[in-house]
Amino acid sequence: MGWSVFRLKGSVRVGLLCIVLLGLQLFFVPVGTAAEEHARPNRYGVGLLVGRAYDPDSFGLVLVQGQMLVDYDRVFWHRAPDALDLKFEANLGLTTDGRTRSLASFNVLALYSLGNRLNRRWTPYAEAGIGLIYTGFRVEGQGLHVNFNPQAGAGVEFPLANDQAVTIALRLHHLSNGGLYKENRGVNSALMMIGYLF
């Protein structure tokens, strides 16, 4: 049977390689900066996203997610609001339209907590960012299997004991190649997410 990834077409193989390499960055996020003594510790989590693509076609999506939240000051050298984090995500998912097509993505988002999460029973937040996504499907006019994945959302974090938390969020996704290929029909979707941070 062997490694079937080597039998894939060139663009698919390159796309999978890009996603794997970007996913490996989760382990190499820089942590040594001048603001290190004031930075919050990294937080890790898992999530489940369920939703539907609504434009141009309608089909269901289910994704599992690994995530890491890093204090913005740990990554960048300039001062940032205390409520700002960077969120690194790796996702694997399937379509639920009967064809069961796969997708994989890596995203980086800015997450801004609206309020002091240490002294509240719940903390709302807003997030936005971009990533790369590989889809095992293409809608008519989509062009490529590897695309950009800009997204934005809002959610609520419910703290638990020992710095753990449950999160619930709504996320809007867009998928397109950004004009890098002549066929660039985008795909838009809305997803609900439930997550667990530890």
For 116-171, what is each residue's pLDDT tens digit? Answer: 765 678 999 999 999 999 999 888 888 899 999 999 999 999 999 998 999 999 99
pTM of the predicted structure, to 2 decimals: 0.79
- pLDDT, position 118: 59
3-state secondary structure 80-147: CCCCEEEEEEEEEEEECCCCCCEEEEEEEEEEEECCCHHHCCCEEEEEEEEEEEEECCCCCCCCCCEE
Q: Give residue 76's domain range.
A: 4-197
Residue type, 151: Q
Chain mean pLDDT for the chain: 86
CA 36/CA 13 separation, integer angstroms: 38
How many domains does one find in the chain? 1
Whether the pLDDT of residue 26 is over 80: the answer is no
Domain containing residue 107: CATH number: 2.40.160.20
User: Are the CB atoms for 169 and 126 separated by under 8 Å?
Assistant: no
What band does 29 get if pLDDT is binned at 50, 70 and 90?
A: low
Burial class (CB in 10 A: 0-12, 13-18, 19+), 172: middle
Q: What is the pLDDT of residues 78-127, one digit of tens each?
A: 788 889 999 999 999 999 988 789 999 999 999 999 977 656 789 999 99
CA 143/CA 4 separation, integer angstroms: 23
Whether the pLDDT of residue 5 is over 50: the answer is no
CB atoms near residue 81 (< 10 Å) = 9
